Amino acid sequence: MTPDDITRNPDLLTAPLALKSGAPAVFRVLRPDDAARLGRYFAGLSKATTERYGPHPFDMATAQQLCDATDYRKTLRLLAVTQAGAIIAYFILGLWVTGTEQERYAGYGIALDGDRDCTFAPSVADAHQSSGLGSAMMPHVLDTARRLGRRQMVLLGGTQATNYRAIHFYEKFGFRKVGDFTTRVDNHDMVLAL
């Protein structure tokens, strides 16, 4: 599978999700017509959640920009969507690595290659956190990264050192802590060999 294959047929990544609650949901990529749904998802996130997750603003304008700029060859925005059409999780799988990440990881003795490695940033709607939704999505995310030939996955911007629930989640799927850095808070860098 290549990013061009996904561009031609985004449904290649559509799969049912097995939620603990038994409610039906679907794993799929963000589509250009998802702006209103994504905007509602962003608006529904609590301040506590958005303070832990910061790759971009959480508003309708950003949702519209992301949908308008959909390019599966660069970034896969992966969703969990209910039968009613509501987005309940939003994961970013970047088919690239930022220069900042490359520099930090080089300091740990880990070479990252933007053509072979990827970045990852997950978020789950507050009402679905600790429900197993993220764990239901991860096998699909990891399979997608592997099928696209990625060899390592790193956290986009790291994870806050006090975000113990997220750290446990990452470790459960094989991520390992490789270093620390400070922005406005202390953060961990974590990597997963695919």
pLDDT digits (tens, 9 = 90+) for 124-153: 999 999 889 999 999 999 999 999 999 999
Task: In whole angstroms, give the CA distance from residue 85 to residue 34.
Answer: 10
**Residue 120, pLDDT above cutoff 80:** yes
Give the length of the chain: 194
Mean pLDDT of the chain: 95
**Residue 185, pLDDT above cutoff 80:** yes
- Per-residue pLDDT, averaged over 10-33, amounts to 92
| Predicted confidence (pLDDT) per residue in 71-117, tens digit | 999 999 999 999 999 999 999 999 999 999 999 999 999 999 999 99
More confident residue, 30 or 185: 30
Domains of the chain: 3-193 (3.40.630.30)
Of 11, 17, 16, 45, nearest to 31 by C-alpha is 11
- Residue 140's pLDDT is 97
- Residue 22's pLDDT is 84
Q: How far is CA 153 from the centre of its chain?
A: 11
Phi, psi of 40 (to 5 degrees): -65, -40
The model's pTM: 0.95
Task: In whole angstroms, give the CA distance from residue 32 to residue 49.
Answer: 25
Question: Which of the four pLDDT bands, split at 50, 70 and 90, describes residue 55?
Answer: confident
Instruction: Give the strand pairing for 159-160 and 176-182.
Output: unpaired
Q: How far is CA 142 from the centre of its chain?
A: 11
Question: Which of the four pLDDT bands, split at 50, 70 and 90, describes residue 54?
Answer: confident
DSSP letters spanning 34-79: GHHHHHHHHHHS-HHHHTT--SS--SHHHHHHHHHT--TTTEEEEE
- Residue 112's pLDDT is 97
- Residue 20's pLDDT is 82
